[in-house]
Structure 1
């Protein structure tokens, strides 16, 4: 059959196909829009459900805390991920074990410092606690939720964390997971010297991190830190208590110990501790000067055989080199350490129990931060190698800086250090003494912390404040005897013992 007007009909068919194609494209776009609407709705539903779950969890935790501490003695759990800062808690745990109204339990946990690949280091923390004579339970890596279940099985009245940084500890032990109990904090640093990189919304992370906001008690060294919390904290510092800081007590009472054997003749060489901060990049506080100092310090130690040098890196410096933004590669650090440790007058100190080391030294070379104030407790020269781009000091930091000798380079540090090494007195010693008196006072912090805990617990129990026997002297006591249980334990062993005790 011959089609009538075939060209026109073909054009009509093509137009219909084109219209169908346009409709298909439009339908596809509508389907994508619908999928996005469904996804957005699901996301909002999940957010709402998560919000309701968090609200329910927070309400349950609040109810648990409001029930009040009824157990006597008060059970205090110490979560230890930062063995290098154990001095903040050592004497407190000892005093609690020597008191009738507290039952301290120490637990070693994994950590993840900047640059580290996942959580680890619990074995080293365990060994460090053992070396210090601290009986403890061990919590290595566990499955999701297991750590928290085990902590709840212990049923602590108080939980002490070592720092406000949730990112450093497993998620099970983050602030929002621990609010079922009374969270306490003695900061790993004695006080805040620098304006921290602000948190979300401009939060001052030195006094207003989630842990500060959720804490039952935060113990601070002085009224200046309390004023910072009152000004910058969303809770206006209502959980902060001025008690002094246990690190100051440890430094004042420490017996000197030095890791380098002296000359065969017995003649003592001059001693320098070089403390290096971890913030060697440009994204945090920017105090770390190790990249600029490393080779010059190696040359100084090589050339000056009449002086002994102990390199004391911040523990995070050893992990930060593995991060992409680090200006120092892991291989460079390894090679540098090998050259440093090959010298007869050098050592590397990573033990963490640094108070005896500082007391045994003659001088400190440092780029900051905590050492700037802690070393002033022993009133010896501090040569501060200062980066020009560091975060601004707080008023406390400005006061502390006046007790140091700021320089820009290692060459300048040598020029400043040489007269002191030759026996010249430090003209800043009186300034350091004034700083220490203003920032730490003279009173021991541990009795003040214990008294504050007793008063707060008594208020929740509606009891008169108990005044049990005074703790035995802390300095010079035998650690194993004072601390009681003379061994560390796995969780399962401890739980078995608790079950048998309850059954008996």
Structure 2
């Protein structure tokens, strides 16, 4: 058989860890011809498409050769790996209908685990919840993917309820968790961690502030209280780890005025024991910390499985319900009723050993093997029914007529 041409299409480099090990394996495998393509993006609050220089700089820093805003048609890929489904953030030439006409889309989720259920109508939480959020498997990128890899058997079952079925969906576990745990262990074994003079608390706020979407974020309601707490506890180093969308969403959704946010950030940066770290990997953030405070979502599960101790969960009581895996993550956390509790919890955090073990069993059925299973599935798909490299058929966008999640009423409109 000829080499399998694979393109990794990336603008969400903040979640490259979802693809990194698969890319590493394929790049060293003579059966594959691998190309990485960095592209512009438009996130919440952005006026236009841009940012590819940051994506490119990220790949340069990791020694990964790549193209910038390349013409995928000219590359003739057999498979196009993506880790991000929301098509509104892609430039038009990289949206799923365009990709499916060029090659087979392979979707590996950018998040570690599907932790949140979804209101039945997507708008009014009081109407009831689906156990698995529809946005996790019914967007256009999901519909047109030739191969999908999921971290949860419940999500695979959800795909099975759709007209297309789930023969193309593979339950492999979480590539992100595999990568996170491996990196944390490598950091610990390397001896590179500096001796900390202060107790280090990582504060990781989420970007969602409305019942219309997730509603986990409490930054706007607690940020001044956390600032005052940090000022009153100089023996604690507080590292703010903002979600990549946090600051843009706060302003774009009019949760905070830009001037008020800028003022808060200036005061935060002025304290000797506070900082902002948007650049380090999650593993490095974790390895340097004694505790984690978060309002959700992914770190609620990632921290206990990587560190073996519970996250401190400051909960928005109006957040969307947890999925079955989310309930396990919630049980593995320690709830914080108010910022004033932090001092006592840092001195003595309750154990959640049994709950963390249950979460790990459910979330990592093939611990350390997810990327290898992805590679094997791509090889099998490319071999085709005859085993000679005929490959699976391309998905015909015209044949998938169900209205995708993001185009339903009440969703954010596509803007070109």
Scaled by the length of structure 2, the TM-score of the pair is: 0.84
Q: Map residues 8-87 of structure 1 onto 2, 5 A cutoff.
A: 72-87=2-17
Does the CA-based 8 Å contact 2:147-2:168 persist in structure 1?
yes
* Shift, 1:413, TM fit: 4.2
**Structure with bigger gyration radius:** 1
Q: Map residues 286-365 of structure 1 onto 2, 5 A cutoff.
A: 286-323=215-252, 325-351=253-279, 353-365=281-293
Is 2:18 aligned against 1:88? yes
1:327 aligns to what SS in structure 2? coil
Distance 1:459 1:320, change over 3 A: same
Distance 1:341 1:310, change over 3 A: same
Does the CA-based 8 Å contact 2:313-2:333 persist in structure 1?
yes
Please give the alpha-carbon distance, in whole angstroms, between the structure 2 residues aligned to 1:237 and 1:413: 45
1:191 equivalent among 113, 121, 139: 113
Is 2:384 aligned against 1:456? no
Please give the alpha-carbon distance, in whole angstroms, between the structure 2 residues aligned to 1:369 and 1:190: 10
| Structure 2 unmatched runs, 5+ | 124-129, 391-416
2:200 aligns to what SS in structure 1? strand
Provide the aligned length of Structure 1 versus Structure 2.
373
Is 2:75 aligned against 1:154? yes
Please give the alpha-carbon distance, in whole angstroms, between the structure 2 residues aligned to 1:237 and 1:352: 36
Please give the alpha-carbon distance, in whole angstroms, between the structure 2 residues aligned to 1:120 and 1:352: 22
* Shift, 1:418, TM fit: 3.4
Q: Map residues 234-313 of structure 1 onto 2, 5 A cutoff.
A: 234-254=163-183, 255-256=186-187, 268-313=197-242
| Structure 1 unmatched runs, 5+ | 1-69, 140-146, 421-425, 466-504
Is 2:363 aligned against 1:436? no
Higher mean displacement: 94-103 or 434-443: 434-443
1:104 equivalent among 6, 9, 34: 34
Q: Map residues 379-390 of structure 1 onto 2, 5 A cutoff.
A: 379-390=308-319
1:117 corresponds in structure 2 to: 47
1:370 corresponds in structure 2 to: 298
Give per-residue Cα distances to partners, 1:165-196, cap 9 Å, x unaligned: 10111111111111121000110012211124
1:411 aligns to what SS in structure 2? helix
Does the CA-based 8 Å contact 2:106-2:145 persist in structure 1?
yes
1:165 corresponds in structure 2 to: 86
2:319 aligns to what SS in structure 1? coil
2:60 equivalent among 122, 130, 149: 130
Does the CA-based 8 Å contact 2:38-2:68 persist in structure 1?
yes
Higher mean displacement: 116-125 or 158-167: 116-125
1:446 corresponds in structure 2 to: 371
* Shift, 1:365, TM fit: 0.3
The RMSD of aligned alpha carbons is 2.4
Please give the alpha-carbon distance, in whole angstroms, between the structure 1 residues aligned to 2:156 and 2:52: 33
Q: Which has more helix, going by share of residues?
A: 1
2:393 corresponds in structure 1 to: none
* Shift, 1:464, TM fit: 8.9
Please give the alpha-carbon distance, in whole angstroms, between the structure 1 residues aligned to 2:11 and 2:120: 24
